[in-house]
Every structure is written in structure tokens, then in C-alpha cells.
């Protein structure tokens, strides 16, 4: 991918921009090397330029808002809005199997074809899944639902790779938590708006809707997903973006073949073998959603209650992301210490909520008719709703910390794309296992206990990375380009060496 020369470099760089362009790679981790785009002055207010990284983060969140956000609405109301979780389990096993396979090639696809194409390709499959459920309401066509799940899985592998790479690349090191919170808030606002659709559609139905979501819900979600996929095309080219600290979001300047991109992805994994300690946290992220959706929300509440729970959970998740932002960005410590404090906060919050969830799990009964399930006006609804909403709070906390942690490991898109795909690959594999277990009829006690164990173990396993491999900064102190490599040592490494020499 060629390097854009429209952005003006600043500062005392030892080499000119043209000289950098002739190098094999381009060093990006140098603060104040380039100027931010100037804002527009409108009615006395400074408005960020379209190419400003925060504007791009907002646009990225909007793409996820209208694709994955709408998909989550279908998932969180339990059983994909159908009478039984069986259809949801079957289609999701197909979805996450395909998702897992294409996560291996998603980083190479992203680095070869760019952010905009990857986002569009990644978004279009979500609408096919909702269309298949809409069709099933009238035809009972199970194979079409399975096909929709497969197509959605293929698209999701590319979409999540692009999203994870972009949101962690756009931000400067001191604002990575902020950018994750911006993205997550907009993404979850999509769930808020999307959840309002089934609440409105099904509110007056009470207990007489046979526990199935109406056509209008699926049609509304289908249209929003198509808009979200197209929006990805209008993102600003990310090789032109300047971060808020004056460094560049830059890709390798040498155009590589798809095979070469695959080799590069493998080299990243081989070089940073310690990323294995991050795998348990990656694994746990979506496993617990199956218990919460199909074994609690989907069987304990009426469809009206499920829809309202989804809406309230999404609202709480927006606030949860900003609470975590305090720990990741704002407390006055170096990054490694902030990483440790934040992961302790995540661990304590998760276990506190799941202790409360244990008592609600014991009250859950399978096989109830719609009339016997807990509705929004029934006694006991409030307590059960609070538990489900707090599950949402911890979901946002867990995911946002994971994204911030990925961003703290590197600033380079070629590395971040591998970490982001690895994160989602393990998410997908765990969901295949969870859906399969749920399909086989494993007890709610087993699904609850295994979910809690996985989600509690994740923060513990990242502690070795924080202690031994996470740096306080990945920024460089000077611009250097030479054959086969880029840049000088990070400042934190240089300080450590100076201390040992002294």
C-alpha cells in the first residue's frame, strides 16, 4: 500500500518524508511527527475534520452499531426470537465454525485490501442471517437459516478483525481506553435502538405472542444492517490518519501478496509467543453469553421481558465502558500499573455479579409456557432483571479491557490485526462449544458453572504478560529507516538498559 504524502510532517525528524517513503517500512510510533488535520470553524465552534481519528472512531462505531449491534438484539432476546433455542443453536454453530476458519486469513485480507473493503464485506453477511430468520417465520426453511449463519460467520471474521485493528490503531497511547469507550458506546447504542424495536413490537402482545418475534422486528433489523455495511466504504483511508499525538497510523509501504501477508501474520505469532497467556481471556468472552441468553433470559422471562432486559442491559453497558476508561487512561500511574489495577477491578466486578447470578440460576425452571414465565409486571421481575443487566455491565467491562489490552501491546496495524483476529477466533471457538453443549441439553448448573470459571480465570492469566512483556510505552524516540526493519528502541526499553548499565 502506498504512503500518502498529503499530510505534512513536522518537528526535527532526521529524515525527510520522501526518504521515509523510500524505506521498506515506515516508522509510525514517533509523537509530533505530523500535524493533525485542522478543525472547521462553524458558528464559533471547532468541529473536527472528517479525517480526525475521533471522527473515524465514531464512524467505526456506527458500522458496528448497525451490524453487530442489531445482531446482538436478535441473540439477546433468546433463541434468535423463535420459540425454541434449537434453531438458534444450530445456526450459530454453523456461524461460529465458519467464523473460526476465516479468522486465520482475516488479518492478511485486511492488510491486503484495506479497511474500507474489509468493513463492507464484513457487514453484509449480518443482514443475510436476519433475512433467513424472517423467512423461517413463514416457511420453516431450516437450511436457509443455516446458510445465513455460515454467511454471517464469514463476514464476521473480516468485520471484527477490521474493527479491532482500527480502534486500537487510531488512538495514541494515552487515549486507547478513550477510543475503546467511544467505539463501545456507539456500538452499544445500536443495541439500545435495536432493542427498542422488539420492545415496541411485542409490548402489547403480553403473553399472547407465542414467544416469537414479529416480522416487523426482522425487517427493521435487516434494513439497518445493510446501511451499516455500506457505511464502511465511507471510512477515511487509514494510512492517511494522524493520531492525536502527531504519530501516523501507517501500513507497510511495500505491497505484499496475500500469501506474504499470511506469512507476516505467522511471524507475528511466532515472535510474540507469550500472547498464549491472553488466550484464556479471549476464550471466556462469549462463552457466558449462551448461558445468559438461552438458559436464563430465554427461558425465565416472557418475550416482552426479554426485550426490555436487552434494552436496559445495553444502556448499562454504555456507562460500564466509561467506568473502565478511568482505570485504563485516567488514573495517574504508568501503563503497566494501570493495566494491573484495571484487571483487578475487572476480576472483582465479575465475581461479585456472578455470585448474585448463582441465586437466580437456582430459581430458573426449564419448559415453562409463555404464560408461566416472569413478565415485566410480575413479582420478582425486578430482581431477575437487575441480575441480567449486571451481566451486561460485566460483559462491557471484560470486552473493553481486552481491547485496551490488545492496544497496549503494540501500535502497529500489522501486529494488532493478528491480535484482534486471535481474540475473535477464540471467542468463536468457545461459542461453538457453548452452543453445542446447550444443544445437547447440558444442565443450567453446568453452563453457569463453566461460564463463571472461564470468565474468572481470564484476568488471572494475563498477569504474566503485564509483569514481563507489557511496556509502559511502544513509542520511538527518533526516526530511523534501514533495510528490513524500522526505528529505534522504545523509550521504556532504552531506560531499562541504561539502568542495568549504571
| The C-alpha cell that represents 363 in the structure block | 430459581
Beta bridge partners of residue 67, listed in sequence order: none
Q: Is 143 exposed, middle or buried (0-12, 13-18, 19+ CB in 10 A)?
A: exposed
Distance CA 500, CA 260 (A): 38
Q: What pLDDT was estimated at residue 406?
A: 94
- For residue 368, pLDDT beyond 70: yes
Q: What pLDDT was estimated at residue 185?
A: 92
- For residue 421, pLDDT beyond 70: yes
More confident residue, 322 or 209: 322
Tens digits of per-residue pLDDT, 223-241?
Answer: 989 999 999 999 998 888 8
Are 420 and 122 in contact by the 8 Å Cβ rule? The answer is no
Please state which of the ranges 43-47, 89-93, 283-287, 489-493 shows the lowest mean pLDDT. 489-493
* Mean pLDDT value across residues 13-41: 59
Tens digits of per-residue pLDDT, 319-367?
Answer: 999 999 999 999 999 999 999 999 999 999 999 999 999 999 998 888 7
Q: How high does pLDDT run on average in the chain? A: 82
| The C-alpha cell that represents 329 in the structure block | 487512561
Distance CA 295, CA 290 (A): 7
| Cα 12–Cα 15–Cα 21 angle in degrees, nearest 5 | 130
Residue 342: other Cβ atoms inside 10 A? 25
Residue 483: other Cβ atoms inside 10 A? 7
pTM for this structure?
A: 0.82
Amino acid at each position: 500500500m502506498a504512503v500518502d504524502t498529503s499530510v505534512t510532517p513536522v518537528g526535527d525528524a532526521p529524515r525527510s518524508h520522501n526518504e521515509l517513503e523510500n524505506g521498506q517500512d515506515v516508522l509510525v510510533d514517533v509523537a509530533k511527527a505530523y500535524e493533525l488535520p485542522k478543525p472547521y470553524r462553524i458558528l464559533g465552534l471547532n468541529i473536527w475534520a472528517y479525517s480526525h481519528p475521533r471522527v473515524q472512531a465514531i464512524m467505526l462505531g456506527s458500522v458496528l452499531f448497525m451490524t453487530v449491534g442489531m445482531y446482538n438484539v436478535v441473540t439477546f432476546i433468546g433463541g434468535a426470537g423463535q420459540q425454541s433455542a434449537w434453531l438458534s443453536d444450530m445456526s450459530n454453530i454453523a456461524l461460529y465454525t465458519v467464523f473460526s476458519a476465516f479468522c486465520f486469513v482475516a488479518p492478511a485480507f485486511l492488510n491486503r485490501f484495506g479497511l474500507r473493503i474489509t468493513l463492507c464485506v464484513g457487514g453484509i453477511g449480518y443482514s443475510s442471517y436476519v433475512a433467513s430468520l424472517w423467512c423461517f417465520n413463514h416457511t420453516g426453511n431450516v437450511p436457509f437459516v443455516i446458510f445465513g449463519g455460515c454467511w454471517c460467520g464469514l463476514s464476521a471474521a473480516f468485520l471484527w478483525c477490521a474493527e479491532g485493528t482500527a480502534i486500537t490503531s487510531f488512538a495514541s497511547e494515552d487515549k486507547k481506553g478513550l477510543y475503546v469507550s467511544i467505539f463501545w458506546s456507539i456500538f452499544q447504542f445500536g443495541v439500545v435502538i435495536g432493542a427498542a424495536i422488539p420492545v415496541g413490537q411485542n409490548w402489547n402482545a403480553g403473553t399472547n405472542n407465542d414467544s416469537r418475534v414479529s416480522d416487523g422486528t426482522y425487517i427493521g433489523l435487516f434494513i439497518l444492517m445493510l446501511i451499516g455495511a455500506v457505511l464502511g466504504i465511507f471510512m477515511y483511508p487509514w494510512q492517511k490518519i494522524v493520531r492525536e499525538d502527531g504519530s501516523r497510523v501507517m501500513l507497510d509501504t511495500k505491497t505484499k501478496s496475500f500469501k506474504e501477508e499470511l506469512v507476516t501474520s505467522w511471524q507475528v505469532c511466532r515472535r510474540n509467543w507469550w500472547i498464549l497467556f491472553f488466550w484464556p481471556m479471549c476464550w471466556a468472552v462469549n462463552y457466558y453469553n449462551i448461558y445468559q441468553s438461552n438458559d436464563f433470559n430465554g427461558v425465565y422471562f416472557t418475550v416482552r421481558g426479554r426485550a426490555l432486559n436487552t434494552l436496559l442491559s445495553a444502556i448499562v453497558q454504555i456507562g460500564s465502558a466509561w467506568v473502565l476508561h478511568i482505570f485504563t487512561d485516567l488514573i495517574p500511574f504508568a501503563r503497566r500499573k494501570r493495566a494491573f489495577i484495571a484487571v483487578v477491578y475487572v476480576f472483582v466486578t465479575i465475581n461479585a455479579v456472578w455470585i448474585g447470578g448463582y441465586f437466580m440460576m437456582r430459581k430458573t425452571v426449564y419448559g415453562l409456557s409463555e404464560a408461566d414465565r416472569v413478565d415485566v409486571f410480575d413479582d420478582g421481575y425486578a430482581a431477575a432483571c437487575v441480575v441480567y443487566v449486571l451481566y451486561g455491565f460485566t460483559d462491557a467491562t471484560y470486552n473493553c479491557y481486552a481491547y485496551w489490552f490488545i492496544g497496549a501491546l503494540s501500535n502497529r496495524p500489522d501486529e494488532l490485526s493478528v491480535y484482534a483476529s486471535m481474540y475473535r477466533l477464540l471467542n468463536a471457538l468457545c461459542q461453538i462449544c457453548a452452543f453445542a453443549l446447550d444443544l445437547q441439553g447440558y444442565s443450567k448448573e453446568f453452563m453457569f458453572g463453566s461460564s463463571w470459571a472461564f470468565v474468572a480465570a481470564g484476568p488471572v492469566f494475563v498477569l504474566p504478560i503485564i509483569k514481563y512483556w507489557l511496556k509502559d510505552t511502544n513509542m520511538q524516540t527518533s526516526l530511523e529507516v534501514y533495510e528490513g526493519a524500522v526505528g529505534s528502541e522504545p523509550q521504556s526499553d532504552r531506560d531499562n538498559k541504561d539502568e542495568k548499565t549504571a
